[in-house]
């Protein structure tokens, strides 16, 4: 199924592969998605919606095996502080539901910040904008398509 995110990549001439998988609403974790699409968890990137105190909404893209370092993101965005947006606000802001959020084709184009680890891989996986379908593509193509700034915004879970 072609999503808005896939259509954007098509328009940009970016090669990608769609991988569909069975999803369970009770477990939408990126780690589970990684196992289902056959990639290491650090190659599957999740997109979080964040609000900075000065610059407002942005999207943070980081490996599923990590957690967002809000202080590091705030430094990168030049905000004093940042916090993840409550889940009830995600769909009205982006048009996407939990488990299907992507920086491509959201209702409004927000600044995108990706963790520097994205450059370590030949292929990464990101949500296609719907639950149950991931897009696999080259990180440089993803960064170009989203105009993402890259920096150290992730830290190990725990």
Q: What is the pLDDT of residue 119?
A: 96
Q: Give the residue ranges of DSSP H helices in 46-107.
A: 70-77, 87-94
Q: What is the pLDDT of residue 2?
A: 85
Give the span between the Cα atoms of 83 and 86, in whole angstroms. Answer: 9
Cβ-defined contacts of 17-26 (< 8 Å, 24+):
17/135, 17/136, 17/137, 18/128, 18/133, 18/134, 18/135, 18/136, 19/125, 19/133, 19/134, 19/135, 19/136, 20/132, 20/133, 21/132, 21/133, 21/134, 22/132, 23/99, 23/131, 23/132, 25/99, 25/131
Q: Length of the chain in residues, anyone?
A: 158
Give all domains of the chain, ordered by start, each with its CATH number.
4-156 (3.90.960.10)
Question: In order along the chain (158 residues), what is the average pLDDT of each group of 10 residues?
Answer: 91 96 77 88 95 97 95 97 97 92 94 97 95 95 97 92
Residue 92, Cβ density class (10 Å: 0-12 exposed, 13-18 middle, ≥19 buried): exposed
Q: What is the pLDDT of residue 28?
A: 66
Q: What is the pLDDT of residue 111?
A: 97
Q: What is the pLDDT of residue 12?
A: 97
């Amino acid at each position: 199924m072609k999503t808005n995110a896939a259509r954007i990549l098509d328009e940009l001439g970016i090669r990608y592969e769609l991988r569909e998988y069975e999803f369970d609403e009770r477990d939408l974790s990126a780690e589970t998605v990684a196992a289902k699409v056959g990639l290491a968890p650090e190659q599957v990137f999740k997109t979080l919606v964040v609000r900075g105190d000065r610059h407002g909404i942005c999207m943070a893209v980081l490996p599923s095996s990590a957690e967002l370092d809000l202080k590091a993101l705030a430094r990168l965005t030049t905000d004093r502080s940042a916090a993840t947006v409550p889940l009830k606000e995600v769909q009205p802001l982006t048009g996407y539901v939990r488990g299907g959020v992507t920086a491509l084709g959201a209702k409004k184009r927000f600044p995108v910040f990706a963790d520097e680890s994205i450059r370590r891989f030949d292929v990464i996986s990101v949500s296609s904008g719907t639950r149950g379908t991931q897009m696999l593509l080259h990180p440089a193509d993803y960064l170009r398509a989203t105009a993402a700034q890259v920096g150290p915004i992730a830290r190990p879970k725990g």
